[in-house]
């Protein structure tokens, strides 16, 4: 197991050096709707460059993509594009997880196995090392022989990690370890005092085995925004109510109840086969000066944005239409990975 000394896993609201995106391929899973999903990626990329640098892993058409992004309004000096072959776009799960060891940033490169072997991931699993070899960031990369996706963990930056049993204990990830062993490894790698586990909160259509970033997110060390459901006729109702009860029972490191912010559930979005997709609002991205929130052309969009604004009083809260993105079972946070500047 990797040895760490004085490690810190920063919260997402800590100062950031950049955000990583992995650009969709015209011949990839979004091929049948590439123009629509590239517009979504472009909107997200342009929004990010208004606030900080953007690292893009893309195909060999680096110059052409740069020109398209510049024409759309991206800030040129904040654009950093690198050719890196990819299987898919989900940078949250194949990107590096940054810790600070003795105050120095280090990118932990965990194994990505396509959410338990569901999809090809061999090229995605090499992206972090390919980007590092091209100088995308100055910090070192350290491989870790353990399957872990960034979407599976939430840090408050103060030694508390929030996650789900369904994902981290899935037998298709690290079957050689039990819950206690996994928790101890997380504590070692990330410098944690405690791990909070949720048993409930599954979204229909989610193929990650229950990533925490789709259902419950730290907004600060004392506040958790979560996916709620008030419609007793919705098939999510019982499970999300059970998760709500779990969250109500959790305590901060200081022993106080968390401030809980319920986010509405958008109306059902279906794929071409009539299957429900895992649309929700906790899949937001925190930037240095903004929070980008997925929206779905739903009346609940405005409610979600209004509830999140008081959680981030010093940041702009901006909605991004992610209806194209959700067609492949992920949303805004799933395609991004922050590269922290410091552990503050």
Written as tens digits, the pLDDT of the chain (344 aa) is 444 467 999 999 999 999 999 999 999 999 999 999 999 999 999 999 999 999 999 999 999 999 999 999 999 999 999 999 999 999 999 999 999 999 999 999 999 999 999 999 999 999 999 999 999 999 999 999 999 999 999 999 999 999 999 999 999 999 999 999 999 999 999 999 999 999 999 999 999 999 999 999 999 999 999 999 999 999 999 999 999 999 999 999 999 999 999 999 999 999 999 999 999 999 999 999 999 999 999 999 999 999 999 999 999 999 999 999 999 999 999 999 999 997 66
pLDDT of 181 reads 98
Chain-centroid distance, C-alpha 292: 12
Asked, for residue 330, whether it belongs to a domain, the answer is: yes
Shortest CA distance to 53 belongs to which of 25, 81, 73, 72?
Answer: 81
pLDDT of 4 reads 43
Rama region for 157: left / alpha / beta (φ>0; ψ in -120 to 50; rest): left
Catalytic residues, by residue number, are: 334
pLDDT of 5 reads 61
Contact present, 246 and 258 (Cβ < 8 Å): no
Taking the C-alpha atoms of 163, 168, 169 and 175 in order, what is their torsion angle to the nearest 10 degrees?
A: -160
- Domain hosting residue 39, numbered range: 7-340
Asked, for residue 114, whether it belongs to a domain, the answer is: yes
Name the domain count of the chain: 1
Asked, for residue 183, whether it belongs to a domain, the answer is: yes
Asked, for residue 2, whether it belongs to a domain, the answer is: no
Q: Is 139 helix (H, G, I), strand (E, B) or coil?
A: coil
CATH code, 213: 3.75.10.10
Q: Is 256 helix (H, G, I), strand (E, B) or coil?
A: coil
What secondary structure does DSSP assign to 23-81, as a single string?
PPPTTSTTGGGHHHHHHHHHHHHHHHHTTSEEEEEE-S-HHHHHHHHHHHT--GGGEEE
Q: How far apart are CA 86 and CA 79, in angstroms?
A: 19
User: What is the pTM assigned to this prediction?
Assistant: 0.97
- CB-count exposure of residue 80 (10 Å: 0-12, 13-18, 19+): middle
Q: How far apart are CA 51 and CA 80, in angstroms?
A: 14
∠ Cα 256 262 266 (to 5°): 160
Strands (E), the chain: 7-8, 16-22, 53-58, 79-83, 97-101, 104-111, 140-147, 154-155, 160-164, 194-198, 216-220, 223-227, 259-263, 285-286, 290-295, 316-321, 336-340
In whole angstroms, how far apart are CA 157 and each of 163, 209, 253, 278, 343?
Answer: 14, 24, 12, 27, 8
Q: How far apart are CA 293 and CA 321, in angstroms?
A: 9
Q: How far apart are CA 322 and CA 41, in angstroms?
A: 9
Q: How far apart are CA 285 and CA 338, in angstroms?
A: 9
The structure tokens listed for 51 are 């606030």
Asked, for residue 79, whether it belongs to a domain, the answer is: yes
Contact present, 284 and 250 (Cβ < 8 Å): no
Asked, for residue 1, whether it belongs to a domain, the answer is: no
Q: How far apart are CA 314 and CA 259, in angstroms?
A: 18
């Amino acid at each position: 197991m990797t040895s760490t000394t004085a490690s810190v896993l920063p919260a997402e609201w800590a100062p950031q050096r950049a955000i990583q995106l992995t650009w969709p391929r015209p011949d990839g899973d979004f091929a049948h709707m590439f123009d629509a999903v590239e517009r979504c990626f472009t909107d997200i990329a342009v929004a990010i460059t208004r606030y900080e640098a953007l690292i893009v892993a893309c195909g060999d058409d680096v110059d052409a993509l740069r020109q398209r992004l510049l024409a759309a309004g991206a800030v040129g000096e904040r654009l950093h594009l690198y050719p890196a072959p990819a299987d898919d776009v989900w940078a949250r799960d194949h990107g590096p997880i940054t810790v600070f060891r003795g105050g120095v940033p280090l990118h932990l490169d965990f194994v990505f196995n396509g959410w338990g072997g569901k999809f090809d991931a061999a090229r995605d699993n090499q992206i972090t090392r390919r980007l590092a070899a091209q100088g995308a960031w100055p910090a070192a990369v350290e491989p870790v022989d353990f399957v872990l996706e960034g979407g599976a963990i939430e840090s408050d930056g103060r030694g508390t990690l929030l996650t789900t049993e369904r994902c981290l204990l899935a037998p298709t990830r690290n079957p050689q370890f039990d819950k206690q062993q996994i928790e101890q490894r997380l504590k070692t790698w990330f410098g944690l005092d405690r791990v909070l586990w949720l048993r409930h909160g599954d979204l229909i259509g989610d193929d990650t085995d229950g990533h925490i970033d789709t259902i419950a997110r730290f907004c600060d060390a004392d506040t958790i925004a979560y996916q709620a459901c008030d419609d007793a006729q919705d098939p999510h109702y019982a499970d999300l109510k059970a998760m709500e009860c779990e969250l109500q029972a959790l305590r901060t490191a200081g022993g106080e109840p968390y401030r809980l912010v319920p986010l509405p559930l958008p109306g059902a979005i279906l794929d071409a086969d009539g299957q429900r997709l895992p649309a929700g609002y906790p899949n937001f991205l925190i930037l240095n000066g903004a929070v980008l929130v997925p929206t779905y052309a739903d009346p609940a969009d405005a409610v979600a944005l209004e509830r999140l604004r008081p959680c981030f009083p010093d940041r702009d809260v901006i909605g991004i239409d992610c209806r194209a993105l959700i067609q492949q079972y992920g949303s805004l946070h799933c395609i991004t990975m922050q590269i922290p500047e410091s552990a503050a």
